[in-house]
Amino acid sequence: MLLPPSYGSAPETRYPVLYFLHDALGNERTLQARGVSERLEAAMKDGGLPEMLVVAPRGSGSWYIDSFDGRRRYGTFLDEELVPWVDAGYRTRPSKASRAVAGISMGGYGALRWLLREPERFAWAGALSPAVLQLTSNAVATLGFFQKLSLTKVFGKDERTNVYRANDLYQVLLDDPSLARRLPPISLRAGRSDEYHIDMLSVYLSKYLSAMGATASLTLEQGTHDWEYWKVSLPALLKDLPF
């Protein structure tokens, strides 16, 4: 949890909230460990970013959904527990207009999946190097061993019990033709030298969202799929916050 710089000195003030979802190798301390918290706090102090709470839950390996076997109900946790807990315990502005979600890599997928589950929850969503491959058995079969393992542990691999279709962003939008038009603005950002070709996936997703009626923007820039790129580009992504 990163509190706004004035949180302690302005006890009557209420603040907007950014929910940040980390990458597959991260945890709730990732922003601090990577030096990003300092950058965000400095930007809030100098007016480059709005003062806000940054809530970073631990989602290790979860892909931020309910797993196929029901053992991990991370999507339910986000939808039903986290936001009410934050609003009850901190001086937030508990409204859609003052709430946003962003994520990196696995967390970029998670942020977009959360948005599609709850389009009325957020005023904006941002995804940096989002892992937005099409979720089908054939697509997952082409991945490397560790990528495939990460996905099958959560989404399942049996054709009868996996939850790929139910959590594929493209299919979710197709299943509800009105959904895209109900979404708030979405900002996508990716490095042109991403070793997982996330830049190409982001181009496709941006065009798909726009074709379906959503408001989506995409920034491609120099960078790879690592924190050398992310620690600079995450603050830049957050410039699009609507607060």
3-class secondary structure, 113: helix
Pick left, alpha or beta for residue 136 (phi over 0 → left; psi -120 to 50 → alpha; otherwise beta). Answer: beta
| Cβ partners under 8 Å of residue 239, min gap 6 | 48, 49
Which tens digit of pLDDT belongs to each residue from 106-152? 999 999 999 999 999 999 999 999 999 999 999 998 999 999 999 99
pLDDT for 216 equals: 98
pLDDT for 112 equals: 98
| Cβ partners under 8 Å of residue 147, min gap 6 | 196
Number of other residues whose CB lies within 10 A of the CB of residue 220: 16
> Is-contact 104 129, C-beta < 8 A?
yes
**Cα–Cα distance, 16 to 14 (Å, whole number):** 7
Position 163 confidence tier, pLDDT thresholds 50, 70, 90:
very high
3-class secondary structure, 2: strand
3-class secondary structure, 19: strand
The interaxial angle of helices 227-237 and 36-45, nearest 10 deg, is 20
Matching CATH number, 17-240, of 3.20.10.10, 3.90.100.10, 3.40.50.1820, 1.10.10.10: 3.40.50.1820
User: Amino acid letter at 62?
Assistant: S
pLDDT for 228 equals: 97
pLDDT for 51 equals: 98
pLDDT for 118 equals: 98
Q: Nearest-CA neighbor of 124 among 2, 212, 18?
A: 18
pLDDT for 37 equals: 97
| Cβ partners under 8 Å of residue 19, min gap 6 | 55, 56, 57, 78, 82, 83, 99, 100, 101, 102, 111, 114
Which tens digit of pLDDT belongs to each residue from 177-201? 999 999 999 999 999 999 999 999 9
**Cα–Cα distance, 101 to 54 (Å, whole number):** 10
Mean pLDDT of the chain: 97
Average pLDDT over residues 73-92: 97
pLDDT for 104 equals: 98
108-120 burial code (b ≥16 CB/10 A, e <16): bbbbbbbbbbbbe
**Cα–Cα distance, 214 to 178 (Å, whole number):** 10
